[in-house]
Amino acid sequence: MVAFWGVFIWKEFKSEPAGTNKLLGFMFLCFIAGLDLIIAARLM
Q: Over the Cα atoms of the chain, what is R_g?
A: 13
Q: What is residue 34's predicted lDDT score, i.e. its pLDDT? A: 96
Write down the pTM of the prediction: 0.75
Structural domain harbouring 14: 2-43
Closest residue by Cα to residue 8 from 17, 21, 18: 21
Separation CA 7–CA 37 (nearest Å): 24
Low-confidence ranges of the chain (pLDDT < 50): none
Number of domains in the chain: 1
Q: What is the distance, to the nearest Å, from the Cα of residue 27 to the centroid of all Cα atoms in its chain?
A: 4
Separation CA 35–CA 41 (nearest Å): 10
Q: What is residue 38's predicted lDDT score, i.e. its pLDDT? A: 97
What is the distance in angstroms between the CA of the first residue and the CA of the last residue of the chain?
A: 26
